[in-house]
Amino acid sequence: MQTYDLIVLGSGVAGATIAATCRSADWHVALVESRVLGGTCALRGCNPKKVLVAAAEAVDRVRHMQGKGIAGAISLDWPELIGFKETFTEAIPEKTAQKFSDRGVDIYQGQPRFTDTNTLQVAEQTLRAKQIVIATGAKPRALDIPGAEYLTTSDQVLEMTSLPDDLLFIGAGYISLELAHVAAQAGAHVTILEALPQPLKQFDPDLVDMLLQASREKGIDIHLETPVASIEKHGETFMVRAGNDGAQTFEVERVIHGAGRVPNLDGLDLEAGGIQTDGRQIVVNSYLQSVSNPAVYIAGDVNASGIPLTPVASMEAGVVVTNLLEGNSAQPDYTGVPSVLFTSPPLASAGMTEDAAQQAGRAYEVVFQDTSSENSTRRLGLHYSGLKVLIEKETHHIIGAHLLGHNVDEVINIFTLLIRAELDVSALKETVWAFPTVFDYHVDAIV
């Protein structure tokens, strides 16, 4: 049996940060990874996806400017793009292993399984530690439909060396819409089936409606209130039956799972570890510590009570590190955390939506403006942009910011700072901003 001060499960942003920081504090640390070292964001998620998004954005920009000074055809070469994406991911496992080795963190690769509150079995190795951190990330939610075995995951999409002509995404969330926009720019016919009447609940519904219009203009076929009933394999294609009666049919070459993710707790045998769950996630206190096993903490996407974003995983890792090294004193603060949907145009949000503000009993004013006709949008040949800002009546603080349009993935960071700093909205007008810029147009709309 190998004994440690700390065992970390998972080598993504949260797990890697916790392992490295505790090792720097002279703890004896082991890290266990059941997949390839490096984590979802670096290998199968946000970073490689953003490489694809960048190419799609470039093609989209040129197409919007055709007839406005830009001439000539343009196309996206999918195999070449995937090859370019590989230059960002192929070296990560080896570099990650070397980084941990250099720092003196022991690496174990295999499926971990609790055998008691402080002990894990990994293949033939038995490991024991004073503290254990579960940072195993998330996985695609299991879909209870006939033919679910034919689904392609987002991981697999990022590995496809050729792009099918017809794709169908189940669900209209982050994964589906971002990859759908990339595939559409690459020439594929894309269909999205969403069971709910309004997707993307974490974003402002008015701006979501504008994004759906923009998506449809790009040829993306979006069906709301259309649950998938079954998937059938017909030779080289798949027949998707949808609608409450399964009467709608779609024949496509690939069906992609974009209907949400859940904490990845597979194979851990949490019951043996004395770790309480609510059937879906580990139950933790405000310090991200298991309520039933004080030796265990969690961080990152495995924490379904948090926000499944890489910067949040990093923040939660810092919280857990503090609580491990100094005792329970730190708690995660999700105030103003920004979210971005990297579509064309991108959609961004920070702080409260109107629904959240109403549920919290906050009295607020709304500034809502369709900025599609503003110069900042028209000069790019774009057709859709808008903003909605929530300003608290009593304090004049911005409590929510929601943006659609070019460059809002960067602009939202300014609003995040304004929300967290609790600045009076008048500070926007009193500050001289660079002009003409997207943010300056937003300021003019707000104050």
- Strands 398-404 and 386-392 turn out to be antiparallel
* 441 labelled ligand-binding: no
CA distances from residue 12 to 8, 88, 440 in whole angstroms, order as listed: 10, 16, 37
* 384 labelled ligand-binding: no
State pLDDT tens for residues 96-133. 999 999 999 999 999 999 999 999 999 999 999 999 99
**What's the CA gap between 372 and 42, in Å, rounded?**
34
* 382 labelled ligand-binding: no
**What's the CA gap between 108 and 100, in Å, rounded?**
11
149, with CB counted inside 10 A (0-12, 13-18, 19+), is exposed
User: In the prediction, which pLDDT does 244 show?
Assistant: 86
State pLDDT tens for residues 246-274. 899 999 999 999 999 999 999 999 999 99
Task: Look up residue 96 and give its two tokens.
Answer: 């990650």
Backbone angles phi, psi at 31, to 5 degrees: -125, 135
* 173 labelled ligand-binding: yes
Percent of the chain with pLDDT over 70: 100
Res 4 pLDDT > 90:
yes
State pLDDT tens for residues 392-403. 999 999 999 999
* 171 labelled ligand-binding: yes
Amino acid, single-letter form, for residue 170? I
Rounded to 10 degrees, what is the CA torsion of 206, 210, 216, 221? -20
**What's the CA gap between 16 and 13, in Å, rounded?**
5
* 235 labelled ligand-binding: no
User: In the prediction, which pLDDT does 187 show?
Assistant: 96
State pLDDT tens for residues 268-315. 999 999 999 998 899 999 999 999 999 999 999 999 889 999 999 999
**Could you write out the three-class secondary structure of 45-100?**
CHHHHHHHHHHHHHHHHHHHHECCCECCCCCCCHHHHHHHHHHHHCCHHHHHHHHH
* 175 labelled ligand-binding: yes
Q: CB–CB of 209/231 below 8 Å? A: no
* 174 labelled ligand-binding: yes
**What's the CA gap between 169 and 158, in Å, rounded?**
14
Task: Look up residue 74 and give its two tokens.
Answer: 């343009």
Domains of the chain in sequence order: 2-48+82-140+262-326 (3.50.50.60), 148-259 (3.50.50.60), 339-446 (3.30.390.30)
| DSSP H stretches of helix in 186-300 | 205-217
* 334 labelled ligand-binding: no
* 301 labelled ligand-binding: yes
State pLDDT tens for residues 158-188. 999 999 999 999 999 999 999 999 999 999 9
Mean pLDDT of the chain: 96
71, with CB counted inside 10 A (0-12, 13-18, 19+), is exposed
**What's the CA gap between 216 and 223, in Å, rounded?**
10
Give the DSSP letter string of 407-435: THHHHHHHHHHHHHHT-BTHHHHHS---S
Mutual orientation of helices 408-421 and 438-446 as an angle, nearest 10°?
A: 50
**What's the CA gap between 232 and 252, in Å, rounded?**
11
* 194 labelled ligand-binding: yes
Element spanning 4, H or E: strand 2-9
No. of helices (H) and no. of strands (E), the chain: 14, 21
Among residues 385, 329, 394, which one has the least CA distance to residue 361?
A: 394
Q: CB–CB of 199/172 below 8 Å? A: yes
DSSP 374: S
